[in-house]
């Protein structure tokens, strides 16, 4: 008997800092449902509307087993495609259908993808501080918890501690000085490497804060400190600069969290211009495209490092983990260290022990949601401040 989609529910909740979008797909088989992540925290109303007004009417009554066909048709159903709002909306359905298929099979998702290549996924966590000593202290704290891969930042994205002279009448914003940022980050990273030697893998996220030629210089300057990877050194609009970057240094590069179009990641992979792909799985459209990209990257010996901050929902983290356990090209997984409330709200949320993330081996994604608890923490509207980035003269900048 064919099992069909009977309802699609969008659950909006904010148990921590990020506004989360969870999609629940209910089926014609009593008690059988799946969960998916559609989280675009800065534009959650738009994704909610896209699901309720466009994607839900499109999928109602469809056979839940036809994941590939539904994904392909949903991607072109609006004619224009590959944007973050609709990609996230489609992802919510896609992940939920994979969750359902795993439950029907009585298998964790990684088994349906091809089985484990590893028992647990190594993760990296974030540290920050106002100065090198404070960053060092926080690195020691997470090392004591068993983490061996650590992202080191100082002063937030762009290193916002610099004193700067603004022009008269300069508007409010998240100001940063790119040149001061480059100098201070190099000193901080050098301090971490000298202090900790080779016993810890260091990572750093530029977050597109440098002009392309200065980004290349930064990647060259940081080369002696042997980072595990340097993240988002260039913006998606500057993809052609990766060719010059590759010719000038061997610093490992991770890229992709802002990508939502195949033509953004395809040339970087086929040209061997990066070392890690780290797309936000819901932004690229879900598990279906992520599975394909991981297989494609494997042919070029490029590893995965899926985006996994607090604005990837727990359901999204569960999806990341299943991809990590299966992918032969796995590299590392970003991990945000959720507070206890989130574990209570999302039973089955993957756990991390001694620097590795482990599945619970329940069918499907292995995660659920306490809808009553989620409803107690509604999403709060806000005009984001950190994405209003400005250069010292007040010019708008990429965040």
Report d(CA 183, CA 197) in Å as an integer.
Answer: 21
Of these residues, 48, 191, 204, 207, which one is catalytic? Answer: 207
Annotation marks residue 157 as catalytic:
yes
Q: Compute the distance between CA of residue 27 and CA of residue 170 in angstroms, rounded to an integer.
A: 55
Q: Is 174 helix (H, G, I), strand (E, B) or coil?
A: strand
CA distance linking residue 200 with residue 193, whole number of Å: 8
List of residues 6+ apart from 280 with CB closer than 8 A: 257, 258, 306, 307, 312
The answer to whether 355 and 123 have CB atoms below 8 angstroms apart is yes
Burial of 323 from C-beta contacts in 10 A (0-12 / 13-18 / 19+): buried
DSSP assignments along 2-26, one per residue: --BEEEEEEEEE-SSSS-EEEEEEE
CA distances from 289 to 162, 237, 295, 320 (A): 41, 21, 10, 12
Catalytic residue, chosen from 33, 110, 124, 157, is: 157
Enter the tokens of residue 308: 């996994």
- Beta bridge partner(s), residue 205: 231
CA–CA dist 270, 262 (Å, integer): 12
**Encoded tokens for 316:** 């999204």
Residue positions counted in the chain: 399
Radius of gyration of the chain (CA): 21
181 is catalytic: no
Q: Which residues are catalytic?
A: 157, 207
């Amino acid at each position: 008997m064919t099992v069909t989609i009977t309802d699609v529910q969008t659950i909006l909740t904010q148990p921590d800092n990020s506004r989360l979008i969870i999609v629940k797909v209910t089926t014609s088989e009593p008690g059988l449902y799946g969960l998916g992540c559609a989280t675009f925290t800065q534009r959650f109303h738009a994704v909610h509307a896209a699901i309720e007004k466009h994607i839900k009417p499109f999928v109602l009554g469809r056979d839940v087993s036809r994941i590939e066909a539904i994904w392909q048709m949903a991607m072109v159903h609006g004619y224009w495609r590959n944007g973050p709002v609709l990609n996230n909306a489609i992802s919510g359905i896609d992940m939920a259908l994979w969750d359902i298929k795993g439950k029907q099979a009585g298998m964790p998702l990684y088994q349906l993808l091809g089985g484990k290549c590893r028992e647990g996924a190594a993760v990296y966590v974030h540290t920050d501080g106002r100065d090198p000593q404070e960053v060092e202290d926080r690195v020691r704290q997470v090392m004591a918890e068993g983490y061996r891969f650590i992202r080191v930042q100082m002063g937030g994205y762009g290193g916002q501690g610099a004193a700067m002279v603004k022009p008269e009448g300069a508007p409010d914003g998240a100001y940063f000085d790119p040149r001061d940022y480059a100098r201070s980050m190099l000193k901080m990273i050098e301090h971490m490497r000298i202090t900790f030697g080779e016993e810890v893998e260091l990572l750093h996220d530029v977050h597109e804060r440098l002009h392309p030629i200065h980004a290349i210089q930064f990647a060259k300057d940081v080369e002696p400190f042997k980072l595990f990877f340097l993240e988002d050194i260039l913006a998606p609009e500057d993809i052609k600069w990766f060719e010059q970057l590759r010719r000038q240094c061997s610093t490992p590069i991770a890229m992709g969290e802002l990508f939502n179009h195949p033509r953004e990641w395809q040339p970087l992979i086929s040209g061997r211009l990066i070392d890690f792909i780290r797309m936000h799985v819901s932004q690229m459209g879900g598990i279906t495209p992520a599975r394909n990209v991981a297989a494609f990257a494997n042919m070029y010996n490029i590893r995965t490092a899926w985006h996994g901050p607090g604005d990837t929902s727990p359901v999204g983290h569960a999806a990341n983990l299943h991809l990590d356990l299966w992918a032969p090209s796995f590299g590392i997984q970003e991990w945000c260290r959720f507070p206890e409330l989130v574990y209570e709200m999302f039973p089955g949320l993957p756990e991390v022990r001694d620097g590795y993330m482990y599945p619970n081996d329940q069918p499907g994604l292995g995660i659920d949601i306490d809808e009553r608890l989620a409803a107690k923490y509604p999403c709060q509207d806000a005009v984001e401040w950190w994405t209003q980035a400005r250069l010292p003269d007040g010019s708008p900048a990429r965040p």
